[in-house]
Amino acid sequence: MDIVIYHNPACGTSRNALELIRHVGIEPHVIEYLKTPPSRAMVAWLAGRTGAPLRDLLREKGTPFAELGLENPDRTDEQLLDAIEAHPILLNRPIVVGPLGVRLCRPSEAVLDLLPVENLKPFTKEDGEVVIDADGRRAGR
């Protein structure tokens, strides 16, 4: 299975999603999007494939979101793309692309919706939260 993750190694959610992908036996293509930002066209494509508005891929915390006035609902997608192009940190993470779809994987266990999930082994996030229990079931389901 070919999986791509737009990843920020400084982000715990992104690290957990990456480890979940590896946990099911897949080595994804890892794109550290702050070092290699996706093109405007790719960001627009990613948003379109998630089925959500581009605005839903924006990150507020630790970014120039407020300073740029991006909370204004009148901002067009072109203006949002301009902002992401100038400040890639505005792109929320992790975004995972695979044969089963594209999604912003927040929380990190949302990545399991894009992966083969048979015969899962237990998995605990780095903060101690159980994602897959001892019986191979997703916690909280």
Q: Which residues are catalytic?
A: 11
Q: Quote the distance between the C-alpha of residue 47 and its chain's center.
A: 11
C-alpha angle 32-93-51 in degrees, rounded to nearest 5:
120
- Side chain identity at residue 11, one-letter code: C
Question: Measured between alpha carbons, how far is 108 from 138 in angstroms, rounded to an integer?
Answer: 12
- Residue whose tokens read 């999007």: 33
Q: Are 127 and 111 in contact (CB under 8 A)?
A: no
